[in-house]
Amino acid sequence: FDRVREELGTPEVFVYNAGAFQMGGILELTPEQFDDCLRANCSGGFLGAREVLPGMVEMGRGTIILTGATASLRGGARFAALSTGKFALRALSQSMAREFGPQGVHVAHVVVDGQIDTPRVRGMSPDREESTMLSPGSIAETYWQLHSQDPSAWTLEMDLRPAVESF
């Protein structure tokens, strides 16, 4: 963050998309795995927001977008290490939006529901139809539109998924 501020100036946008996940049942996860996932999925958003908020508050503008997933709204079996942190990140978003919205900082939480069309995902399932994945460019467009929203009508929560996704 120091280098970003030095080289690029005070950030106007902060997108938090870090994620860590160890699939496993409650008796299979170690306490370290559980806490590490919780910290990566939630505390990291808190730490990052603390870095950019002072500058945003001073400017009276800025956008913080926190990326959620299906696990933000549903605690599936063997997904505890993901959904605990993702639920928590949504709580953080709501709390930050209520605290900093009136100070000019737009906080939004986006549930990305589906696979993103990345080289890694393509590598794992090369025959998968393109239309069943979210394109990074389409997600970026919506994030850009969130940043461009007028303070008269800000979005706190929204979801994104492919048209063909069954949910």
Cβ closest to a copy of itself, residue 9 vs residue 32 = 32
Q: 102, 119, 123, 126: which one contacts a copy of itself (CB under 8 A)? A: 102
Cβ closest to a copy of itself, residue 11 vs residue 85 = 85
Total number of residues that touch a copy of itself (CB under 8 A): 77
Q: Which listed range, 1-9, 12-20, 118-126, 127-135, lies at the site for a copy of itself (CB under 8 A)? A: 127-135
Q: 10, 23, 78, 128: which one contacts a copy of itself (CB under 8 A)? A: 78
The DSSP code for 10 is S
| Span 6-25, contacts to a copy of itself by CB under 8 A | 25
Instruction: Name beta bridge partners: 151.
Output: none
- Is residue 125 within the footprint of a copy of itself (CB under 8 A)? no
79 Cβ contact partners less than 8 Å away, ≥ 6 residues apart: 21, 23, 71
Pairing of β 13-16 and β 105-112? unpaired
C-alpha 101, offset from chain centre? 18
The one-letter amino acid at 14: F
CA atoms within 13 A on the CB side of 67: 19
Give least dist CB 5 to a copy of itself, A.
Answer: 16
| Span 31-60, contacts to a copy of itself by CB under 8 A | 31, 34-35, 38-39, 42-43, 46-47, 49-50, 53-54
Task: Decide if 23 contacts 79 (C-beta within 8 A).
Answer: yes
Give least dist CB 65 to a copy of itself, A.
Answer: 13
The DSSP code for 43 is I
